[in-house]
Amino acid sequence: MTKRERIIEKLGVHIESREQLAPLAARILSTLILTGKRGITFESLVCELGASKSTIFTHLTTLQAANRITYYTKSGDRKKYFILIPDVMIQSMTEMIKKWNCEKEIHMEIMDYKKELNETLEDSEKFDLEFHRDYLDFLTQASASVEKLQKKLIEKNKND
């Protein structure tokens, strides 16, 4: 197994579980990530991933419909070159931040509830709220870091 194949497999497993995609769809995305702006043809995907034409076609169609990938053509060449949608990473970051904000809201609600209960409980029965404070702090810092990176990517995409 080549280094590229190992990375495609490892990244594919990660994408598959994180984004709940079919294994081959995740491997297609992994391949496109490693291929970059030059893109990859349908035929090359079939060869590289060792899957049937119909299966590759089905997953390419699904990924296009999900606005994850697109293609371009070259003048005088009848082939399609598949690439990631340029702002797919930005979209992914937006979704991540939304999930974290939702999680923050839930933890704040839980912490407020536990604070109220603590007022009625004996010292030995009181909830320790340190975890919630630390976790909320982590989510705030992580969101700020991702937002900073996202802004850089947006600026870079504008200049490309």
The packing angle between helices 53-65 and 42-49, to 10°, is 120
User: Does residue 157 register a pLDDT over 80?
Assistant: no
The residue among 94, 108, 102 whose CA lies nearest residue 136 is 108
- pLDDT tens digits, one per residue of 105-147: 999 999 999 999 999 999 999 999 999 999 999 999 999 999 9
**Residue 153: band (very low, low, confident or very high) from pLDDT cuts 50, 70, 90:** confident
Name the fold adopted by 3-84.
Answer: Arc Repressor Mutant, subunit A (1.10.10)
For the chain, which residues make up each domain, given as ranges?
A: 3-84, 88-159
- The pLDDT of residue 8: 95
First to last CA, the chain: 35
**CB within 8 Å of 98: residues ≥ 6 apart:** none
61 CA to centre of own chain = 19
Q: Give yes or no for residue 47 having a pLDDT over 90.
A: yes
